[in-house]
Chains A and B, each alone.
Chain A
Amino acid sequence: MKHLLSIDELTEADLREVLRITPSFAEVAQRRIAKVPALRGQTVALLFYEDSTRTRLSFEIAAKRLSADTLNVSVNTSSVNKGESLRDTAETIEAMGIDAVVVRHRSSGVPWQLTKWLDASVINAGDGWHQHPTQALLDCFTLQQKLGDLAGSHIVMVGDIKHSRVARSDISALTMLGAEVTLVAPPTLLPPATDTWPVRTSHDLDSALADADAVYLLRMQNERQNEALVPDLREYTTLYGLTAERAARLSPTVPILHPGPMNRGVEIAADVPDLDQVVVVDQVRNGVAVRMAVLFLLLGSGAGDVPGVSPEPVAAAEGATP
């Protein structure tokens, strides 16, 4: 595997391998010196054309825990709007001797286009409405922690599926692992051809929640009101929000996920995020471990060479202060 562009380009075996080795990387975070030398001497560029503090930090911490050097390339959004040449940016990065590029872009497809001009590994950190594969991996890992094997489990995903790269990635990953996925959204916020997807769709949140093993809420953006996709956010919350009443009817064993940042009072009632079954913090924590696993698989010296088995003194020798 050279690039991570889309969950759809992974085999089930690839997906399970990432999830299998992720705990070894989670363990690194628990160490006194949370760093292993696996990617020492390698450079990872974080090319973020769209603001995303949490995803960028997560990748940066993941790379640093593997001893890679990181390079933050913040790209002025105004030059993006002018449609600057992607190739120029790619070739500039290539000339600097970068080993991997983590790219976030508001336009679908940019990571694919970059692979045409780059020898470096490309990791998709979110492209347009299209894919966000490491989000799907961390969500699967989090759900497995809570539910065990996901085969046959029923995941209810609620909200703006149409504009969501999280939904597209998670649906592929969850169904690959045997989960059953129900999408709940107003018809205007579903993609036009969900009949070709391996999911069920519903417009009735209460009945979908009745037999849910997990609930995944998506962020609802204010702009959707202006595009006549929903009448207003109040009606959206009434029909599709996880209100306190709906949350109270859920079993406390049903985990509630959200990719963040949450709009309290819109897709999730103000106090619901404080429930114990809301696993947003686990998602963020697992995100670092999953991204370490991905960087290691793409850039590491060899398969099976998981740092969990390498002795801690190597790590300690590197950054320990006496």
Chain B
Amino acid sequence: MSALLIRGGTVIDSTGSRNEDIAVVDDMIVPTGAAPSSATVIDASNCVISTGLVDLHAHLGEPGDEAAETMATGGRAAVLGGFTTVLAMSNTMPPVDTAAVVEHIRSLAKAALCRVEIAGCVTVGAAGTHLAPLGELAEAGVAFVTDCGAGVQNPLLMRRALEYAKPFALTIAQPADCVELSVGAEMHEGEWSSRLGLPGAPAEAEEIMVMRDIALARLTGARLHFQTLSTAGSFAIVSAAQRSGLNVSAEIASHHLALSDADLASYNSCRKVEPPLRTRDDVNAACVSISSGALDCIVSDHTPHTTDRKERPFDHAASGSVGLETALAVALSQDIDITSVLRAMSWRPAELLGLGPPSERTISPGVIADLIIIDPHERFSVSTRTQATAGTNSAFEGVELRGRVRTTIVGGRVVVQNGQVTA
């Protein structure tokens, strides 16, 4: 029997905030009176205790891109960043379009310190022509399907996917981008693309796809999740759809809470991401939307790359930034209250992933002990040299952030203590 006693911290969950000690025996939270005297004591004074973070969007390298990341390195990065559950994206090599691939990834994921959920593809090979066996994927335990990357461009195929998925406990997730409008784009289209001489994607390339898919969600009555939205227009459209009663949710990547297109002025290719960094107005709207709950989730959009893929001319550099170890700190460094950040990074994504409603994932006896202890005031400077991820591409390299994970507990097991991996 292992036992923990977490003392002196402030507990924040969906029921509110309180000063309370927490006891854990084996993998379960128990009443503090039930903790044995031999329990390991963890001091959480001046810290916040939360349920573990849940990331709906990360690329963990395996299978196919082991040079950039593995389950072992990505899993260490996840728990250091406070994520106890990560949804691994479907655009692996091979892509996740059969139950066999799901099973293979599940076996690889045993090397990860965090829990790994697996996203499937909407179409075979994410090629956008034939529906993947969605029933088989759901049966294999897949909860989200997405053609992560280009998304489903063909509106008829998207309609069929939404309709066909309805009998299964499946969410169709869509990265919203009308590729004909954003063809060749290297950044957001606007003042900065004009100045920097780079081809841009207008905000409308994203918003048109959001509008189209909301119309299809209305037509089919199906459940729909938008991945990594980035424009103020998209946030407003999704919010209006939710108010009209549609079962639509949306996530935003943490870098879109902090960086704008002006931050590309020195052609830092580690800040080349998809969708691109937008304007300062969009960044401000993102923070407001997370605070108000209009946007459901903050995700890491963790996209590791080897150094050589970024040390190229901007238009030949790969897209994406690592994010597992910085997402929480990026969010806490903005003008967003910590409860909203935790709702968007823990309770709400857990609910969307089918891990249970917030009322069942509180910090209370009888709940599985996936817990983190955060020092919301600790400052640190981002350096991929010291990060656990094998990826070397952080959009925040050299940036000072606030808010650090001190302890991460997965199923009652302490995997991070004092900001270091212990497992």
Interface residues of A (CB under 8 A from B): 8, 80, 83-87, 105-110, 112-113, 127-131, 165, 168, 191-194, 196-197
The answer to whether B196 and A130 touch across the interface, beta carbons within 8 angstroms, is yes
Contact check, B197 vs A128: say whether CB atoms are below 8 A apart: yes
A85-B308, A86-B311, A196-B191 in contact; A107/B316 too (CB < 8 A)?
yes
Docked-complex contact A83 and B316, CB < 8 angstroms: yes
Contact between chains at A165 and B197 (CB < 8 Å): yes
Contact of A130 among B197, B200, B312 (CB under 8 A): B197
- In the complex, A129 Cα to B199 Cα: how many Å? 9
Complex contact A105–B312 (CB within 8 A): no
A131 to chain B, nearest CB (A): 7
For residue A292, give the distance in angstroms from its CB to the closest CB of chain B: 26
Q: A85-B308, A108-B197, A112-B266 are in contact. Are A128 and B191 (CB under 8 A)?
A: no
Contact with A along B242-270 (1 / 0, CB 8 A): 00000000000000000000000011010
Smallest CB gap from B311: residue in A: A87
Q: Nearest Cβ distance between residue A182 and chain B, in whole angstroms? A: 17
For residue B326, CB closer than 8 A to chain A, the reply is: no
Give the residue among A108, A131, A194, A197 with the most B Cβ atoms within 10 A.
Answer: A108
Which single member of B189, B190, B202, B314 contacts A109 (CB below 8 Å)?
B314
Other-chain residue from B191, B193, B199, B312 in contact with A83 (beta carbon distance below 8 A): B312
Check A109 against B191 for contact (C-beta < 8 Å).
no
| Alpha-carbon separation in the docked complex, A110 to B315 (Å) | 10
In the complex, chain A residues whose CB is within 8 Å of the CB of B308: 85
Q: Is B383 at the interface (CB under 8 A from chain A)? A: no
With A108-B267, A113-B313, A192-B202 already in contact, the answer to whether A127 and B197 are too (CB < 8 A) is: yes
Residues of A contacting B311 in the complex (Cβ-Cβ under 8 angstroms): 85-87, 113
B198 within 8 Å of A by Cβ?
Answer: yes
Contact of B313 among A110, A129, A165, A194 (CB under 8 A): A110
A87 and B190 alpha carbons, distance in the complex (Å): 29
When distances are taken between beta carbons in the complex, the residues of chain B under 8 Å from A112 are 266-267
**A108-B198, A108-B267 as given contacts; A128 in contact with B315, CB under 8 Å:** yes
Nearest chain A CB to B392 CB, angstrom units: 12
CB closest residue in chain B, given A162 = B194
Picked from B190, B267, B314, B317, the residue with its CB within 8 Å of the CB of A192 is B190
Give A192 to B192 CA distance when docked, in angstroms.
10
How many angstroms between the C-alpha atoms of A84 and B316 in the bound complex? 9
Known: A87-B311, A192-B190, A193-B190. A109 touches B316 (CB 8 A): no
Q: Which residue of B lies closest to A110 (CB)?
A: B313
| Distance between Cα atoms of A84 and B317 in the complex (Å) | 10
| Complex Cα spacing A98 to B187, Å | 33
Interface extent on B, as a size class?
20 to 34
From B191, B266, B314, A193 is in contact (CB under 8 Å) with B191
Cβ contact of B200, chosen from A83, A105, A192, A194, cutoff 8 A: A192
Cα-based distance from A191 to B194 in the complex (angstroms): 5
Listed from nearest, the 9 A-B pairs whose CB atoms lie closest are A130-B197, A109-B267, A107-B313, A129-B197, A83-B316, A191-B194, A193-B194, A193-B191, A108-B197
B194 interface neighbour in A105, A110, A127, A196, Cβ under 8 Å: A196
Chain B contacts with A in 313-336, Cβ cutoff 8 A: 313-317
Contacts of A85 in B (CB 8 A): 308, 311-312
B interface, CB within 8 angstroms of A: 189-191, 193-200, 202, 266-267, 269, 308, 311-317
Chosen A-B contacts, 27 in total, with CB atoms closer than 8 Å, are A85-B312, A86-B312, A87-B311, A105-B313, A107-B313, A108-B197, A108-B267, A108-B314, A109-B196, A109-B198, A109-B267, A109-B313, A109-B314, A110-B267, A110-B314, A112-B267, A129-B197, A130-B196, A130-B198, A131-B197, A165-B197, A168-B197, A192-B202, A193-B191, A193-B194, A196-B194, A197-B194
| A-B residue pair count with CB separations less than 8 angstroms | 73
Q: State whether A129 touches B198 (Cβ < 8 A).
A: yes
B residues near A107, Cβ cutoff 8 Å = 313-316
Q: List the A residue with the shortest CB-CB distance to B308.
A: A85
Q: Once bound together, how far apart are the Cα atoms of A216 and B314, in whole Å?
A: 30
**Which residues of chain B have C-beta atoms less than 8 A from A86's C-beta?**
311-313
- Nearest A residue to B318, CB-CB: A83
Residues of B within 8 A of A129 (CB): 197-199
Contacts of B197 in A (CB 8 A): 108, 127-131, 165, 168
Closest to A87 in B: B311
**Which residues of chain B are within 8 angstroms of A197 by Cβ–Cβ distance?**
194
Q: For the complex formed, measure the closest distance between the CB of A46 and the CB atoms of chain B, giving whole angstroms.
A: 18
CA distance A219 to B317 in the complex (A): 28
CB proximity of B91 to chain A, nearest CB, Å: 20
A84 touching B315, Cβ below 8 Å: no
What residue of chain B has the Cβ atom nearest to residue A117's Cβ?
B311
A128 near B190 with CB under 8 A, answer no
Q: How far is the CA of A220 from the CA of B268 in the complex (A)?
A: 31
Tell me which residues across on chain B come within 8 A of A192, comparing CB atoms: 189-190, 193-194, 200, 202
Cβ–Cβ < 8 Å partners of B198 in chain A: 108-109, 128-130
| Bound complex: CA A197 to CA B193 (Å) | 13
A97 to B314, CA, bound (A): 26
CB distance from A50 to the nearest CB of B (A): 11
Minimum CB distance partner of B200 in chain A: A192
Q: Given the complex of chains A and B, what is the CA–CA distance between A87 and B199 in angstroms?
A: 23
Measured CB to CB, the closest approach of chain A to B279, in angstroms, equals: 10
CA distance A105 to B312 in the complex (A): 12
Task: Specify which chain A residues have a CB less than 8 angstroms from the CB of B190 in the assembled complex.
Answer: 192-193
Output the least CB separation between B406 and chain A (Å): 34
Q: Which B residues are in CB contact (< 8 Å) with A131? A: 197
Chain A residues with CB below 8 A from B200, complex form: 192
Q: In chain B, what residue has the closest Cβ to A115?
A: B266
Measured in the bound complex, the distance between the Cα atoms of B197 and A127 in whole Å is 9
Docked complex Cα distance between A31 and B199 (Å): 46
Within the complex, what minimum Cβ distance (angstroms) separates B118 from chain A? Answer: 31
